[in-house]
A and B are shown apart, each in its own frame.
Chain A
Amino acid sequence: MNFMDVVFYVFAALTVFAGMGVITARNPVNAALFLVLAFCSSAGIWMLLEAEFLAIVLVLVYVGAVMVLFLFVVMMLDINLVRLREGFWRWFPFGAGLAGLMVFEMIYVLGARQTSDTGGNVVHPANYSNTKELGRLLYTDYVYPFELAAVLLLLAMVAAIALTLRRRVGVKTQNVSDQVQVKAADRVRIVKYMQDGSTDTSAK
Protein backbone atom coordinates (compact mmCIF):
# COMPACT_ATOMS: atom_id res chain seq x y z
CA MET A 1 0.00 0.00 0.00
CA ASN A 2 1.66 3.21 -1.08
CA PHE A 3 1.06 6.80 -0.09
CA MET A 4 -1.66 7.38 -2.72
CA ASP A 5 -3.68 4.44 -1.44
CA VAL A 6 -3.52 5.74 2.11
CA VAL A 7 -4.74 9.15 0.96
CA PHE A 8 -7.54 7.53 -1.01
CA TYR A 9 -8.76 5.47 1.93
CA VAL A 10 -8.63 8.47 4.23
CA PHE A 11 -10.73 10.55 1.83
CA ALA A 12 -13.09 7.65 1.13
CA ALA A 13 -13.65 6.99 4.84
CA LEU A 14 -14.21 10.70 5.39
CA THR A 15 -16.75 10.83 2.57
CA VAL A 16 -18.68 7.86 3.94
CA PHE A 17 -18.57 9.28 7.47
CA ALA A 18 -19.80 12.66 6.24
CA GLY A 19 -22.51 10.99 4.18
CA MET A 20 -23.70 9.12 7.27
CA GLY A 21 -23.60 12.38 9.15
CA VAL A 22 -25.84 14.08 6.60
CA ILE A 23 -28.65 11.59 7.14
CA THR A 24 -28.23 11.03 10.88
CA ALA A 25 -27.61 14.58 12.15
CA ARG A 26 -30.64 15.90 14.02
CA ASN A 27 -29.86 19.53 13.37
CA PRO A 28 -30.26 20.49 9.70
CA VAL A 29 -27.36 22.96 9.91
CA ASN A 30 -25.07 20.18 11.09
CA ALA A 31 -26.39 17.99 8.28
CA ALA A 32 -25.64 20.72 5.73
CA LEU A 33 -22.13 21.14 7.14
CA PHE A 34 -21.61 17.37 6.89
CA LEU A 35 -22.63 17.65 3.25
CA VAL A 36 -19.96 20.32 2.81
CA LEU A 37 -17.42 17.92 4.29
CA ALA A 38 -18.63 15.18 1.94
CA PHE A 39 -18.17 17.49 -1.05
CA CYS A 40 -14.68 18.48 0.07
CA SER A 41 -13.50 14.92 0.61
CA SER A 42 -14.94 13.74 -2.70
CA ALA A 43 -13.15 16.67 -4.33
CA GLY A 44 -10.01 15.21 -2.76
CA ILE A 45 -10.74 11.83 -4.35
CA TRP A 46 -11.26 13.43 -7.74
CA MET A 47 -7.96 15.22 -7.27
CA LEU A 48 -6.31 11.82 -6.82
CA LEU A 49 -7.82 10.78 -10.15
CA GLU A 50 -6.05 13.77 -11.73
CA ALA A 51 -9.41 15.41 -12.45
CA GLU A 52 -8.22 18.63 -10.83
CA PHE A 53 -10.56 20.85 -12.83
CA LEU A 54 -13.65 18.93 -11.75
CA ALA A 55 -12.41 18.72 -8.16
CA ILE A 56 -11.85 22.46 -7.89
CA VAL A 57 -15.11 23.27 -9.63
CA LEU A 58 -16.91 20.98 -7.19
CA VAL A 59 -15.49 22.98 -4.31
CA LEU A 60 -16.03 26.30 -6.06
CA VAL A 61 -19.62 25.74 -7.14
CA TYR A 62 -21.12 23.33 -4.64
CA VAL A 63 -19.22 24.24 -1.50
CA GLY A 64 -18.57 27.88 -2.26
CA ALA A 65 -21.95 28.86 -3.66
CA VAL A 66 -24.71 26.24 -3.52
CA MET A 67 -24.14 25.11 0.05
CA VAL A 68 -23.80 28.68 1.27
CA LEU A 69 -27.26 29.47 -0.07
CA PHE A 70 -28.50 26.15 1.34
CA LEU A 71 -27.15 27.01 4.78
CA PHE A 72 -28.75 30.40 4.44
CA VAL A 73 -32.19 28.84 4.22
CA VAL A 74 -31.56 26.04 6.68
CA MET A 75 -30.18 28.36 9.36
CA MET A 76 -33.40 30.33 9.42
CA LEU A 77 -35.68 27.30 9.75
CA ASP A 78 -37.54 26.76 12.98
CA ILE A 79 -37.56 23.02 13.44
CA ASN A 80 -39.79 21.02 15.69
CA LEU A 81 -38.14 17.62 16.12
CA VAL A 82 -41.20 15.96 17.64
CA ARG A 83 -43.35 16.83 14.65
CA LEU A 84 -40.64 15.63 12.32
CA ARG A 85 -40.61 12.20 13.92
CA GLU A 86 -44.36 11.79 13.55
CA GLY A 87 -45.46 9.22 11.01
CA PHE A 88 -42.04 7.60 10.71
CA TRP A 89 -43.44 4.07 10.53
CA ARG A 90 -46.25 5.08 8.22
CA TRP A 91 -43.77 6.22 5.58
CA PHE A 92 -41.16 3.57 6.35
CA PRO A 93 -42.22 1.02 3.67
CA PHE A 94 -42.23 3.70 1.01
CA GLY A 95 -38.79 4.98 2.07
CA ALA A 96 -37.36 1.48 2.30
CA GLY A 97 -38.67 0.65 -1.16
CA LEU A 98 -37.07 3.78 -2.59
CA ALA A 99 -33.77 3.02 -0.87
CA GLY A 100 -33.84 -0.56 -2.21
CA LEU A 101 -34.47 0.74 -5.71
CA MET A 102 -31.51 3.11 -5.45
CA VAL A 103 -29.21 0.34 -4.19
CA PHE A 104 -30.31 -1.84 -7.10
CA GLU A 105 -29.67 0.97 -9.58
CA MET A 106 -26.22 1.67 -8.19
CA ILE A 107 -25.25 -2.02 -8.31
CA TYR A 108 -26.53 -2.21 -11.87
CA VAL A 109 -24.64 0.86 -13.04
CA LEU A 110 -21.39 0.10 -11.22
CA GLY A 111 -21.55 -3.57 -12.21
CA ALA A 112 -21.88 -2.64 -15.86
CA ARG A 113 -18.90 -0.28 -15.49
CA GLN A 114 -16.77 -3.11 -14.12
CA THR A 115 -17.20 -5.24 -17.21
CA SER A 116 -16.60 -2.51 -19.77
CA ASP A 117 -13.12 -1.37 -20.66
CA THR A 118 -12.13 1.80 -18.81
CA GLY A 119 -8.88 2.09 -20.67
CA GLY A 120 -6.73 1.47 -17.61
CA ASN A 121 -4.18 3.96 -16.43
CA VAL A 122 -3.48 6.53 -19.10
CA VAL A 123 -0.11 8.17 -18.90
CA HIS A 124 -0.24 11.83 -19.77
CA PRO A 125 2.58 14.07 -20.98
CA ALA A 126 3.94 16.59 -18.49
CA ASN A 127 2.17 19.60 -19.98
CA TYR A 128 -1.18 17.81 -20.15
CA SER A 129 -3.92 20.16 -19.00
CA ASN A 130 -7.10 18.60 -17.76
CA THR A 131 -8.88 21.92 -18.05
CA LYS A 132 -7.94 22.48 -21.69
CA GLU A 133 -8.93 18.93 -22.60
CA LEU A 134 -12.31 19.29 -20.93
CA GLY A 135 -12.93 22.62 -22.61
CA ARG A 136 -11.98 21.21 -26.00
CA LEU A 137 -14.44 18.32 -25.59
CA LEU A 138 -17.25 20.52 -24.30
CA TYR A 139 -17.00 23.04 -27.10
CA THR A 140 -16.51 20.57 -29.96
CA ASP A 141 -18.03 17.10 -29.54
CA TYR A 142 -20.60 18.03 -26.91
CA VAL A 143 -21.33 21.59 -27.91
CA TYR A 144 -25.02 20.95 -28.62
CA PRO A 145 -25.91 19.28 -25.29
CA PHE A 146 -23.73 21.85 -23.53
CA GLU A 147 -25.57 24.79 -25.07
CA LEU A 148 -28.87 23.07 -24.39
CA ALA A 149 -27.99 22.71 -20.72
CA ALA A 150 -26.97 26.36 -20.61
CA VAL A 151 -30.29 27.47 -22.11
CA LEU A 152 -32.18 25.27 -19.64
CA LEU A 153 -30.31 26.82 -16.74
CA LEU A 154 -30.97 30.31 -18.06
CA LEU A 155 -34.64 29.46 -18.40
CA ALA A 156 -34.74 28.17 -14.84
CA MET A 157 -33.03 31.31 -13.64
CA VAL A 158 -35.43 33.62 -15.44
CA ALA A 159 -38.36 31.58 -14.18
CA ALA A 160 -37.11 31.71 -10.59
CA ILE A 161 -36.72 35.47 -10.78
CA ALA A 162 -40.11 35.90 -12.44
CA LEU A 163 -41.76 33.78 -9.74
CA THR A 164 -40.22 35.61 -6.82
CA LEU A 165 -40.24 39.15 -8.18
CA ARG A 166 -43.40 40.88 -7.07
CA ARG A 167 -44.19 44.53 -6.64
CA ARG A 168 -45.91 45.14 -3.35
CA VAL A 169 -47.81 48.36 -2.83
CA GLY A 170 -47.25 50.46 0.25
CA VAL A 171 -43.69 49.38 1.07
CA LYS A 172 -41.35 52.19 1.91
CA THR A 173 -38.15 50.91 0.33
CA GLN A 174 -35.78 53.39 -1.14
CA ASN A 175 -34.83 53.28 -4.79
CA VAL A 176 -31.05 53.29 -4.76
CA SER A 177 -30.76 54.24 -8.43
CA ASP A 178 -32.83 57.38 -7.84
CA GLN A 179 -30.78 58.21 -4.79
CA VAL A 180 -27.55 57.86 -6.69
CA GLN A 181 -28.80 60.08 -9.49
CA VAL A 182 -29.47 62.97 -7.13
CA LYS A 183 -27.22 65.99 -7.55
CA ALA A 184 -26.49 68.56 -4.89
CA ALA A 185 -28.22 71.25 -6.99
CA ASP A 186 -31.54 69.34 -6.79
CA ARG A 187 -31.62 69.37 -3.03
CA VAL A 188 -29.72 72.39 -1.81
CA ARG A 189 -30.23 76.01 -2.85
CA ILE A 190 -27.58 78.37 -1.65
CA VAL A 191 -28.99 81.80 -0.88
CA LYS A 192 -26.87 84.84 -0.18
CA TYR A 193 -28.30 87.50 2.08
CA MET A 194 -27.65 91.08 0.94
CA GLN A 195 -27.06 94.00 3.25
CA ASP A 196 -30.43 95.55 2.39
CA GLY A 197 -32.36 92.42 3.32
CA SER A 198 -32.97 91.14 -0.22
CA THR A 199 -31.69 87.74 -1.30
CA ASP A 200 -29.56 86.74 -4.22
CA THR A 201 -30.39 83.20 -5.33
CA SER A 202 -27.78 83.15 -8.06
CA ALA A 203 -24.95 82.89 -5.56
CA LYS A 204 -22.92 79.74 -5.69
Chain B
Amino acid sequence: MEKIKHYFKTFLLFELLKGLALTGRYMFARKITVQFPEEKTPQSNRFRGLHAQRRYANGEERCIGCKLCEAVCPALAIKIEVAERDDGTRRTTQYDIDLTKCIFCGFCEESCPVDAIVETRIFEYHGEKKGDLYYTKPMLLAVGDKYEAQIAKDRAADAKYR
Protein backbone atom coordinates (compact mmCIF):
# COMPACT_ATOMS: atom_id res chain seq x y z
CA MET B 1 0.00 0.00 0.00
CA GLU B 2 2.79 2.34 0.99
CA LYS B 3 4.62 1.43 -2.21
CA ILE B 4 1.57 2.10 -4.38
CA LYS B 5 1.12 5.46 -2.70
CA HIS B 6 4.75 6.23 -3.37
CA TYR B 7 4.40 5.33 -7.06
CA PHE B 8 1.36 7.53 -7.40
CA LYS B 9 3.18 10.40 -5.77
CA THR B 10 6.12 9.92 -8.13
CA PHE B 11 4.05 9.79 -11.30
CA LEU B 12 1.85 12.69 -10.31
CA LEU B 13 5.03 14.71 -9.69
CA PHE B 14 3.75 15.48 -6.20
CA GLU B 15 7.07 16.61 -4.75
CA LEU B 16 7.90 18.73 -7.79
CA LEU B 17 4.57 20.50 -7.48
CA LYS B 18 5.25 21.12 -3.80
CA GLY B 19 8.55 22.74 -4.73
CA LEU B 20 6.91 24.83 -7.42
CA ALA B 21 4.25 25.96 -4.95
CA LEU B 22 6.93 27.14 -2.56
CA THR B 23 8.77 29.26 -5.12
CA GLY B 24 5.43 30.42 -6.47
CA ARG B 25 4.48 31.70 -3.02
CA TYR B 26 7.77 33.49 -2.59
CA MET B 27 7.29 35.24 -5.91
CA PHE B 28 4.64 37.38 -4.25
CA ALA B 29 6.44 37.74 -0.94
CA ARG B 30 7.69 41.17 0.15
CA LYS B 31 11.11 41.72 -1.38
CA ILE B 32 14.03 42.24 0.94
CA THR B 33 16.47 43.78 -1.52
CA VAL B 34 18.35 46.81 -0.18
CA GLN B 35 18.62 49.49 -2.86
CA PHE B 36 22.26 50.12 -2.17
CA PRO B 37 23.32 53.69 -2.89
CA GLU B 38 20.03 55.06 -1.58
CA GLU B 39 19.43 52.55 1.22
CA LYS B 40 22.08 51.00 3.41
CA THR B 41 22.10 48.15 5.85
CA PRO B 42 22.93 49.09 9.45
CA GLN B 43 26.61 48.76 10.35
CA SER B 44 28.19 47.56 13.56
CA ASN B 45 30.55 49.93 15.35
CA ARG B 46 33.10 47.14 15.00
CA PHE B 47 32.87 47.27 11.21
CA ARG B 48 36.25 46.76 9.59
CA GLY B 49 36.60 48.91 6.49
CA LEU B 50 39.17 51.33 5.16
CA HIS B 51 42.15 51.95 7.43
CA ALA B 52 42.94 55.28 9.09
CA GLN B 53 45.74 56.71 11.25
CA ARG B 54 44.59 58.75 14.21
CA ARG B 55 46.02 61.79 15.98
CA TYR B 56 45.78 62.97 19.59
CA ALA B 57 43.60 65.94 20.32
CA ASN B 58 46.66 68.21 20.20
CA GLY B 59 47.34 67.20 16.62
CA GLU B 60 50.26 64.89 17.39
CA GLU B 61 50.11 61.62 15.48
CA ARG B 62 49.57 58.59 17.69
CA CYS B 63 51.76 56.07 15.91
CA ILE B 64 55.04 55.37 17.69
CA GLY B 65 56.41 52.98 15.12
CA CYS B 66 56.42 49.86 17.31
CA LYS B 67 55.82 47.68 14.24
CA LEU B 68 53.46 45.35 16.11
CA CYS B 69 50.91 45.73 13.35
CA GLU B 70 53.50 44.93 10.71
CA ALA B 71 54.47 41.82 12.65
CA VAL B 72 50.93 40.60 13.19
CA CYS B 73 49.62 41.30 9.70
CA PRO B 74 48.82 37.86 8.19
CA ALA B 75 48.75 39.20 4.64
CA LEU B 76 52.04 41.14 4.93
CA ALA B 77 50.21 44.22 3.74
CA ILE B 78 51.88 46.74 6.07
CA LYS B 79 55.33 48.28 5.56
CA ILE B 80 56.86 50.55 8.18
CA GLU B 81 60.14 52.51 8.34
CA VAL B 82 61.07 54.24 11.58
CA ALA B 83 63.44 57.10 12.45
CA GLU B 84 64.07 59.40 15.40
CA ARG B 85 62.46 62.78 15.01
CA ASP B 86 64.25 66.06 15.90
CA ASP B 87 62.50 66.19 19.29
CA GLY B 88 63.85 62.76 20.15
CA THR B 89 60.58 60.81 19.76
CA ARG B 90 60.28 57.62 17.72
CA ARG B 91 58.15 58.18 14.64
CA THR B 92 57.45 56.44 11.36
CA THR B 93 58.92 57.86 8.17
CA GLN B 94 56.93 55.45 6.07
CA TYR B 95 53.68 53.67 6.89
CA ASP B 96 52.10 51.94 3.88
CA ILE B 97 49.14 49.61 3.69
CA ASP B 98 48.57 47.74 0.46
CA LEU B 99 44.79 47.41 0.38
CA THR B 100 44.96 44.89 -2.45
CA LYS B 101 46.76 42.56 -0.03
CA CYS B 102 44.82 43.44 3.11
CA ILE B 103 42.23 40.88 4.22
CA PHE B 104 40.57 43.25 6.75
CA CYS B 105 41.10 40.90 9.68
CA GLY B 106 41.52 43.78 12.14
CA PHE B 107 44.66 42.35 13.78
CA CYS B 108 46.59 45.60 13.24
CA GLU B 109 43.90 47.47 15.12
CA GLU B 110 43.91 44.92 17.96
CA SER B 111 47.67 44.90 18.28
CA CYS B 112 48.13 48.68 18.36
CA PRO B 113 49.07 49.86 21.89
CA VAL B 114 48.14 53.49 21.18
CA ASP B 115 45.03 53.02 19.01
CA ALA B 116 46.83 54.66 16.12
CA ILE B 117 45.88 52.36 13.27
CA VAL B 118 42.13 51.75 13.12
CA GLU B 119 39.67 50.40 10.63
CA THR B 120 36.74 52.68 9.83
CA ARG B 121 33.25 52.05 8.59
CA ILE B 122 34.10 53.21 5.07
CA PHE B 123 33.81 50.45 2.50
CA GLU B 124 32.80 52.34 -0.64
CA TYR B 125 36.25 53.43 -1.77
CA HIS B 126 37.81 52.55 -5.06
CA GLY B 127 40.90 53.02 -7.15
CA GLU B 128 41.10 53.30 -10.89
CA LYS B 129 44.63 51.92 -10.96
CA LYS B 130 46.08 49.21 -8.80
CA GLY B 131 48.46 51.80 -7.33
CA ASP B 132 45.51 53.84 -6.08
CA LEU B 133 44.87 51.20 -3.45
CA TYR B 134 48.40 51.49 -2.02
CA TYR B 135 47.75 53.79 0.95
CA THR B 136 50.70 55.78 2.27
CA LYS B 137 51.03 57.55 5.60
CA PRO B 138 49.68 60.97 4.51
CA MET B 139 46.67 59.27 2.93
CA LEU B 140 45.95 57.27 6.06
CA LEU B 141 46.31 60.36 8.24
CA ALA B 142 43.98 62.25 5.94
CA VAL B 143 41.33 59.54 6.30
CA GLY B 144 41.79 59.69 10.09
CA ASP B 145 41.47 63.48 10.17
CA LYS B 146 38.36 63.44 8.07
CA TYR B 147 36.45 60.80 10.04
CA GLU B 148 37.90 61.34 13.52
CA ALA B 149 34.52 62.10 15.09
CA GLN B 150 33.00 58.85 13.86
CA ILE B 151 36.10 56.84 14.75
CA ALA B 152 36.21 58.20 18.27
CA LYS B 153 32.51 57.50 18.77
CA ASP B 154 32.88 53.90 17.61
CA ARG B 155 35.90 53.33 19.94
CA ALA B 156 33.99 54.78 22.84
CA ALA B 157 30.95 52.59 22.16
CA ASP B 158 33.10 49.47 22.11
CA ALA B 159 35.38 50.45 24.99
CA LYS B 160 33.65 48.49 27.73
CA TYR B 161 34.08 45.20 25.89
CA ARG B 162 37.83 45.56 25.36
* Residues of B close to A180: CB separation below 8 A: 10
Instruction: Kindly state whether residue B153 has any CB partner on chain A within 8 Å.
Output: no
Instruction: Kindly state whether residue A121 has any CB partner on chain B within 8 Å.
Output: no
* Residues of A close to B10: CB separation below 8 A: 180
Instruction: Kindly state whether residue B6 has any CB partner on chain A within 8 Å.
Output: yes
Interface of chain A residues 111 through 154 with chain B (CB within 8 A): none
For residue A177, give the distance in angstroms from its CB to the closest CB of chain B. Answer: 11
Instruction: Kindly state whether residue A179 has any CB partner on chain B within 8 Å.
Output: no
* Residues of A close to B6: CB separation below 8 A: 181, 183
Interface of chain B residues 1 through 42 with chain A (CB within 8 A): 6, 10
Number of interface residues of B (CB under 8 A): 2
Chain A residue at smallest Cβ distance from B6: A183
For residue A176, give the distance in angstroms from its CB to the closest CB of chain B. Answer: 13
The answer for the CA separation of A181 and B10 in the assembled complex, in Å, is 9
Chain B residue at smallest Cβ distance from A185: B2
Chain B residue at smallest Cβ distance from A183: B6
* Residues of B close to A183: CB separation below 8 A: 6
The answer for the CA separation of A183 and B10 in the assembled complex, in Å, is 11
The answer for the CA separation of A183 and B15 in the assembled complex, in Å, is 12
The answer for the CA separation of A181 and B2 in the assembled complex, in Å, is 11
For residue A33, give the distance in angstroms from its CB to the closest CB of chain B. Answer: 39
Chain B residue at smallest Cβ distance from A181: B6
The answer for the CA separation of A181 and B4 in the assembled complex, in Å, is 11
Interface of chain A residues 144 through 192 with chain B (CB within 8 A): 180-181, 183
The answer for the CA separation of A180 and B6 in the assembled complex, in Å, is 10
Chain A residue at smallest Cβ distance from B7: A181
* Residues of B close to A181: CB separation below 8 A: 6
For residue B11, give the distance in angstroms from its CB to the closest CB of chain A. Answer: 12
Chain A residue at smallest Cβ distance from B2: A183
The answer for the CA separation of A180 and B10 in the assembled complex, in Å, is 9
For residue A8, give the distance in angstroms from its CB to the closest CB of chain B. Answer: 51
For residue B54, give the distance in angstroms from its CB to the closest CB of chain A. Answer: 51
For residue A198, give the distance in angstroms from its CB to the closest CB of chain B. Answer: 29
The answer for the CA separation of A19 and B6 in the assembled complex, in Å, is 55
The answer for the CA separation of A180 and B15 in the assembled complex, in Å, is 12
For residue B26, give the distance in angstroms from its CB to the closest CB of chain A. Answer: 22
For residue B18, give the distance in angstroms from its CB to the closest CB of chain A. Answer: 13
The digit string for A19-57, where 1 denotes a CB below 8 A from any CB of B, is: 000000000000000000000000000000000000000
For residue A12, give the distance in angstroms from its CB to the closest CB of chain B. Answer: 51
The answer for the CA separation of A152 and B79 in the assembled complex, in Å, is 81
The digit string for B47-89, where 1 denotes a CB below 8 A from any CB of A, is: 0000000000000000000000000000000000000000000
For residue A183, give the distance in angstroms from its CB to the closest CB of chain B. Answer: 7
The digit string for B126-160, where 1 denotes a CB below 8 A from any CB of A, is: 00000000000000000000000000000000000
The answer for the CA separation of A180 and B13 in the assembled complex, in Å, is 12
The answer for the CA separation of A183 and B6 in the assembled complex, in Å, is 9
3 interchain pairs (CB within 8 A)?
A180-B10, A181-B6, A183-B6
| A interface residues with partner B (beta carbon < 8 Å) | 180-181, 183
The 3 tightest CB contacts between A and B, nearest first, are A183-B6, A181-B6, A180-B10
